[in-house]
Amino acid sequence: MGYMEIIIGGIFVNNILLAQFLGNCPFLGTSKKMETAVGMAMAVVFVLVLAGVITWVLYAFFLAPYKLVYMRTIAFILVIASLVQFVEMFLKKSIPALYAGLGIFLPLITTNCAVFGACILNIDKELNFMKTLVQSTAYAVGFGLALILFAGVRERIILSRVPKPLQDTSIGLVTAGILSLTFYAFKGMI
């Protein structure tokens, strides 16, 4: 599997949000405004890449050699949560500007299933370190793309006449479904 395939596959074909349906809570929660959607997308790129790499290292050097693969779920959760906390502290001290930009979104990602899901997928596909890095980046970009697209659509939905029972989250889910269908067009590309 080449790098190009990984990138296209990660961003479009196997889009983590629209094809694998992971991370739906921030997808619906932070997509009402373009501004928050962009902030969230940036934060996810940042954390997902780091988490992907760290969990690969944890798996390859600790879990697999000591035959503790069945522990990976709990180990990954612990590592990802600590990582996010660590990154938050690091940014606050070293890159205050970036910290201010990502603001509230960093701690929110602690509970983002897309991050955890991507890490698990990387391990399941038995990728090497470089491919894990590329794959994680592709997934994160895919997440950001879907979130920003969706935010754009939702900003338009406000302007249209939505039947009362379907307003807000309901129409959001319907729209997410349609958006997901459009991404099915990428199926079979690789």
How far lies 156's CA from each of 55, 117, 169, 172, in Å? Answer: 39, 30, 14, 11
The answer to whether residue 93 forms part of the interface with other proteins (CB under 8 A) is: yes
Nearest alpha-carbon partner for 147 in 9, 3, 22, 54:
22
Of positions 38, 42, 53, 79, contacts other proteins by CB under 8 A: 79
61 binds other proteins, rule: CB under 8 A: no
Residue type, 99: Y
Binds other proteins (CB under 8 A): choice among 1, 57, 92, 182: 92
Query: Smaller CB distance to other proteins: residue 70 or 124?
Result: 70
- For the chain, where are the alpha helices, taking DSSP H only? 3-8, 24-29, 34-58, 72-94, 96-102, 105-109, 113-124, 129-157, 169-183
Residue 90 interacting with other proteins (CB under 8 A): yes
Among 1, 57, 64, 71, binds other proteins (CB under 8 A): 71
Binding mask 134-163 for other proteins (x = CB under 8 A): ------------------------xxxx--
With beta carbons less than 8 A apart as the criterion, state whether 26 and 148 touch.
no
Q: Quick one: which of 5, 25, 4, 6 has its CA closest to 132?
A: 6
Shortest distance, CB of residue 132 to other proteins, whole angstroms?
20
Site string for other proteins, 19-58 (x = CB under 8 A): ----------------------------------------
